[in-house]
Structure 1
Amino acid sequence: MKIFGRFQRLSIKWRLTILFVILMVVLLVAFNMFLLWNMMKVLSQHEQRLLQQKAKAIGADLSTEIVEESYLNPDYLTRLLTNYTDSNQAILLLDINGTKLASVTGAGWEQNPWSADEADAIIYRTKIHLPVTASDIWLLIAERKEPLDSFIRILFINLFLASFGALLLSGFGGYAMTKLGLKPLDRLVVHIRDMNAHQLSARMSDSHVAAELGELVSAFNSLLDRVEESMKRQQQFVADASHELKTPLTIIDGYVRLLQRWGKHTSEVREEALAAIQQECGRLSRLIQDLLILAKVQRAPFAIQNIEIQSLVPVLQEVKQAWGSVFPHHIELTVQWREPLLVAIDRERIRQLLDILLDNAKKYTEKGSVSVYAYTERDVVCIDVEDTGIGIPQEELPHVFDRFYRVDKARGRSNGGSGLGLAIAQSIVQLHRGHISIKRTVTGGTKVHVTLPSAQLNEQE
């Protein structure tokens, strides 16, 4: 485990080099073992064929030159066999009963050749038929393996030296190739180290690099795009929040100064200042409340707190009853639905979502109607909130869910809007794994389309 831990702490170049060398060691060991085994087998087979040829030659001489007198003469047989014996060989003649007729042993033998095992000697035996005898005789030829073993040792040493040189070359070559291949990664590391929060616009070039590193560079550049966009939004959010908080505070500060100068003696000035201060405090309170709500619905742990599978109908009935008395007489509110509307929701947040959408529709609809319609389509539950109000310009639609964004900032502030309502609505929908979109209607109004995953499929399962 310690070795593995140290290996994990090495750089990628060294890890790849070590793995490459280990792979080469395994391949070279396997190749050398296979080569040595085959070479030993080939040499053994070659020596067997040589011994077989020598046995045929001895058998031919014995068949043509031996007569009955010489067959019984061990000295004559020994002299005959000596012509075919070298220093590493031994030849033995036996009759059919196993009685020794003659034997010759080369000078290289230090032990009895016929007691040696297969690891020390190659033994070939065959029968020879002599015309002067009524039965066959056995011819045995033994050859020492030591000369072959010497050749194998020399071959092994040469293979070892060649393999060692190949490992050195592969190690240096593997490190050089790895270093060359990872050079774009090194540039990426240097680029990351030199980067700071105020220099996120620079991007790495993914040309002339391998496909894998090109994908890494592309992914890193994409990450920088998202980080830069997120930081811009964060900076814009801080600036917008500061502006929204600064405006009522400036008004309050102005009226406080007015009170200090004139309010002590003039009741009209005092009443005007107190009313304005109260109004601006209400705006501050609503803004802070919206910010707290937005932060709460975007918290990850909140996503699984109060979600239950239930029907959307009670929420729609509650909204219809609550907002029916809020809308003025010249704006008609209709809330309709088509069951079943079974969804996994947090009831309080869905009610808050509908309140935001209806509040916006009421603010920006001077006359006509506002309608809410809920229905199930395939595997989603849809909620449409449509009005006949002043609508939103087409070019403004991509930005309406941004925090503090107002289509008409002056009008939004006069109506008490903070620009956070639709951002909160989008967060609530995303919390429920749904989708929300806004578009202009044919009549020029606004239609908000919300989809939430239906719970009917899960219920059937």
Structure 2
Amino acid sequence: MSLRLRLALLYTAQLTAALVIFSFLLYWVFRWSYVNQVDANLRSVAWDVAKGAPLTWNLPTLRSLAGRSTFILVRSTQGVVTQSSDFGTFPLPAEARAGKATLTFERDAYGEPYRLYSLPVYVGDTPTYWIQVAQPLQLLEQVLRRLRPLLTAAAVAFALITGAVSWLLAGRAMRPIQRVAEAAEAIGESADLGLRVPYKGPQDEVGRLVHTFNGMLDQLQDLYGRLGAAVDAQKRFVADASHELRTPLTIIRGNIDYLERAGTLDPEALADMKSEAARMSQLLEELLAMARADAGQKPELEPLALGLLVRDVCNKAQALPHQVEFRLELPEALDRVMVLGHAEWLRRALLILLDNAFKYTSSGSVTVRAGRQGDGVVLQVIDTGQGIAPEDLPRIFDRFYRADRARSRGGTGLGLAIASWVAGMHGGRLTAESKLREGSTFSLWLPVYRPGEQRPNS
């Protein structure tokens, strides 16, 4: 059963039930109102008869009090005293015989309905006479008999009309939802996430549904776009990794073949093999680091004295090949700054930044500077090297990305990607600013750790 049909049936059932209840109430309110008027008239006539003494209860008097459709009968313990017309007697209810005025529904000998009011008249403390006033209810029964099929027919006609209208309204209300379903089917068939559901109606539940659906498509389109970019990056990653590994392996194999043919150990060939093996070892280590990052592995972090760690890294960096001045501008206050981190990974990230700075700076200086920034501390590696082109700057943290000018310098293209991952792993960030032929500044911001404060890994 379709949702449209269920809605139409629900609307029809609710409105039809409301009409049936209304018809039932109308039927019984009309009947109650009519009977209530009859009861008021019967009481009035009975009390008018009761005002006269028993000696005045004669036929002319009763006929003057009785209307065209009202019949009066006076009875005593001995039997009927008098009556307005000879239409037969009604039974005396037990409650009236006990002395209580009573209203009852009766039928005469022909089965015609009457409303009967029995009023006891006391002589002393004992009910001695009873005045009974009756009025026929044939007219009421005729009206109700005709009203019942009319109300039934009206309910049936209303149900049919309501069903048709509900079907149309449900179809109109379901039209935007139908468009959403059609759009979903079209997207599933064409795999085109650029399709959207057109909607110009009010921002009601359906409008919110369409808006949410279109928003979900925007997110899916963005997600698939990023997923496609990630797949492309992964393909490039595999291709570049294969190329980077193939080069040192080719050199090593070539030197081994040369040594086999020469039958002697050539120092130059051995040096090449050692260099390429070291390069391949570094590449494999960096590939392993990125694989761990992709797997979501997060090393255990602990409070570290940042100043001591930076100074230790800078001392080790002195041994890196460089031909420029190396400056340290580290304030003493840095020794009292604590960060929640992993010492080995932070050392590797800083060494990557320093190695890059030395590698691409042929003159001038490389400076390490530190200072507070907001709720954290920022470490800057500033060089006066060749700089980075504006078109390359947004991609320098991508894996295996190397600008054309940098390719001649060697390297794997993974260093800055690893450094950026290390920054994120510590809840920080790594940014770069650069100008061609003026130098570059890499800024590593880390949040300051305070005892008792827990910072989740980013």
TM-score, normalised by the number of residues in structure 1 = 0.70
Residue 446 of structure 1: aligned partner:
440
Secondary structure, counterpart of 1:173 in structure 2: helix
1:423-443: CA deviations, max 9, x gaps?
Answer: 222222223333332112699
Secondary structure, counterpart of 2:392 in structure 1: helix
Residue 320 of structure 1: aligned partner:
314
- TM-fit CA distance, 1:154: 4.2
1:393-417: CA deviations, max 9, x gaps?
Answer: 2232211121111123x634x4442
1:84 counterpart = 2:69: yes
8 Å CA contact 2:324–2:366 kept in 1: the answer is no
Residue 417 of structure 2: aligned partner:
423
1:204 counterpart = 2:195: yes
Unaligned runs of 5+ in 1: 1-9, 129-136
- TM-fit CA distance, 1:93: 7.2
8 Å CA contact 1:17–1:171 kept in 2: the answer is no
Residue 134 of structure 1: aligned partner:
none
1:238 counterpart = 2:245: no
8 Å CA contact 2:16–2:155 kept in 1: the answer is no
- TM-fit CA distance, 1:296: 1.1
- TM-fit CA distance, 1:314: 3.8
Residue 403 of structure 2: aligned partner:
407
Residue 227 of structure 1: aligned partner:
224
Of 320, 336, 349, the match for 1:353: 349
Secondary structure, counterpart of 1:394 in structure 2: coil
Aligned mates of 1:46, 1:309 — CA distance in 2: 93
Alignment of structure 1 residues 59-138 onto 2, 5 Å: 69-71=55-57, 73=58, 77=62, 81=66, 83-85=68-70, 114=103
Aligned mates of 2:370, 2:167 — CA distance in 1: 70
Aligned mates of 1:219, 1:458 — CA distance in 2: 40
Aligned mates of 2:400, 2:36 — CA distance in 1: 96
8 Å CA contact 1:123–1:142 kept in 2: the answer is yes
Residue 5 of structure 1: aligned partner:
none
Residue 173 of structure 1: aligned partner:
168
Residue 379 of structure 1: aligned partner:
375
8 Å CA contact 1:433–1:452 kept in 2: the answer is yes
Residue 341 of structure 1: aligned partner:
337
Of 390, 393, 415, the match for 1:394: 390
My pick for the range that moved more, 350-359 or 47-56, is: 47-56
Counterpart of 2:28 in structure 1: which amino acid? M
8 Å CA contact 2:15–2:162 kept in 1: the answer is no
Task: Mark the structure with the bigger radius of gyration.
Answer: 2
My pick for the range that moved more, 150-159 or 227-236, is: 150-159
Secondary structure, counterpart of 1:193 in structure 2: helix
- TM-fit CA distance, 1:322: 2.6
- TM-fit CA distance, 1:306: 0.9
Aligned mates of 1:45, 1:373 — CA distance in 2: 98
1:33-65: CA deviations, max 9, x gaps?
Answer: 356436634653454346546765x4798699x
Alignment of structure 1 residues 152-171 onto 2, 5 Å: 153-154=148-149, 157-158=152-153, 160-162=155-157, 164-165=159-160, 168-169=163-164
Counterpart of 1:445 in structure 2: which amino acid? G
- TM-fit CA distance, 1:24: 5.4
- TM-fit CA distance, 1:204: 0.9
Do the aligned partners of residues 446 and 178 (structure 1) sit closer, same or farther apart at CA in structure 2, a change above 3 Å counting? Answer: same
8 Å CA contact 1:386–1:446 kept in 2: the answer is yes
RMSD: 4.9
Aligned mates of 2:452, 2:412 — CA distance in 1: 39
Secondary structure, counterpart of 1:404 in structure 2: coil
Of 255, 264, 283, the match for 2:261: 264
Unaligned runs of 5+ in 2: 94-101, 107-112, 122-129, 202-206
8 Å CA contact 1:384–1:449 kept in 2: the answer is yes
- TM-fit CA distance, 1:293: 0.6
Do the aligned partners of residues 33 and 241 (structure 1) sit closer, same or farther apart at CA in structure 2, a change above 3 Å counting? Answer: same
8 Å CA contact 2:92–2:118 kept in 1: the answer is no
8 Å CA contact 2:286–2:414 kept in 1: the answer is yes
Residue 29 of structure 1: aligned partner:
17
8 Å CA contact 1:343–1:455 kept in 2: the answer is yes
Aligned mates of 1:459, 1:173 — CA distance in 2: 62
Secondary structure, counterpart of 2:210 in structure 1: helix
Residue 28 of structure 2: aligned partner:
40
8 Å CA contact 1:307–1:345 kept in 2: the answer is yes
1:330 counterpart = 2:324: yes
1:312-336: CA deviations, max 9, x gaps?
Answer: 3343243233324446473213152
Aligned length: 420
Q: Percent identity?
A: 21
Do the aligned partners of residues 159 and 94 (structure 1) sit closer, same or farther apart at CA in structure 2, a change above 3 Å counting? Answer: farther
My pick for the range that moved more, 326-335 or 139-148, is: 139-148
Aligned mates of 2:146, 2:330 — CA distance in 1: 98
- TM-fit CA distance, 1:418: 1.3
Counterpart of 2:194 in structure 1: which amino acid? R
Aligned mates of 1:297, 1:157 — CA distance in 2: 76
Secondary structure, counterpart of 2:221 in structure 1: helix
Residue 214 of structure 2: aligned partner:
217
Counterpart of 1:341 in structure 2: which amino acid? V
